[in-house]
Structure 1
Amino acid sequence: MSQISWLGPQDPFPNPLIEADPDPSVPGLIAVSERIYPGQLARAYQQGIFPWYSDNQPILWWSPDPRMVLKPNEFKCSESLRKIIRSFTQNSPSQIVVDDDFGAVIRSCATSTRKNQDGTWITHEIMDAYTALHEQGYAHSIAVREDGQLTGGLYCVNFGGMVFGESMFSRKANASKIALAALSAWCLQLGVSMIDCQQETSHLLSLGATPIPRQAFLEQLQTSINQTNIDKSWTFDKSILHHWI
């Protein structure tokens, strides 16, 4: 049995297609590092690897099998959600704001209380690392604002034609669903075929996400990150939601 790699600043990640699950007792754990080194997060995503750990742990890098994904054309927009979206689009002070509130969105995701979850994996180091990706144009936020107040949103990572969903939050019922509906509609418009959701949850299942084999995900990833038709400006607003109504 091989050992889980302990990575230094310049060490490459193991190939999850070849060196998957080096320790079968911790399936999906591909590598460990002392911290998130400069450039490491971008390299990880392009290999289908992401960090997920707690404050008292080293950086744990994962490539789970199966992988939870949402195909934008399979987003489940229920009739009740359509009514909420219709009301949102008709309310003049309501807004979808892309990338103007990245810091506020990631902090809100970090501090949101979640059912059956004690604490957060979005540590200060995680926030710093994803903010750096945002400044490089690879991480994005979608904020839902109603009457000037931030009521929900999400942040994600984008390389080529692959979007990696990271975390959502709601301060008002269904606000994060509105953000995900906006992202899904934008992905459909641009030809993005898959949103990575990483791990299975009942909430994601209810919105149309489904688990697929790791190998299928990694093969699709290699095709998608070479797409060049993605609008790097990430400019859209609430009018994108008309796709669902």
Structure 2
Amino acid sequence: MHFTSETTADGVTERRFTLDGVPGVLWLPADAPADAPSDAPARRPLVLLGHGGGQHKLAPGLVARAGRCATRYGFAAAAIDAPGHGERPRTAQDERFGTEIGELLATGRPISPQVARYTAALTEQAVPEWQAVIDALRRLDAVGPDGPVGFWGLSLGTVIGVPLAAADPRITAAVFGLAGHDSLAEAARRVTVPVEFLLQWDDELVPRQEALALFDAFPSGEKTLHANPGGHLELPDFEVTASELFLARHL
């Protein structure tokens, strides 16, 4: 992990990094210790933040959420650019997908099958990238080697986050939502940690029954469905606050 910049403002230290070519950001409370070895390393909870489709690691809502994790709860938070997003190069497949989705949306046709095919390839690449990031961050003295890890990600964040939570036992709680497809069901059935799932009842991008089926697939002993009226981008602010409290309770 190579850190490329560090800034501190409003009680939050933001450290940008690259890891094997993947750009990311780590947010910490401003008073977190430096990386020097310690006889008693931190056991700071770490929240992984997955951005939505077409967004990136520094999307305003994600940055605000990371800041609250650091200042309200004393957590570390991290985000990386998903393949084909942010600072990462776009392939011909990425360009074709963007064109196809635009055409489907313009004509009112369903996009779920195309999204599932495209994001399956992203997920196969992104899951091991996230796992490598967890490995590297837990070697930092400011985070520590054995603290709990949570995941927060909607839409594309869920498409990547569900397989990640299924594959990595270090994740102990997760916030998912605004997604659903048969292709996620197998991974969802292996996620047994507490889950909070956010659903927009009038989502124009994700069929309601597919989202409900994904929620139903989680065998978690504690899982909660939060449904609100409105479209894909109309998630109420109070639900974001509630989801942060959910992670704070479990981490």
The reply to whether TM is greater than 0.5 is no
**Larger relative contact order (Cα-Cα within 8 Å, sequence gap ≥ 6):** 1
Q: TM-score, normalised by structure 2?
A: 0.31
By percentage of residues, which structure has more helix? 2
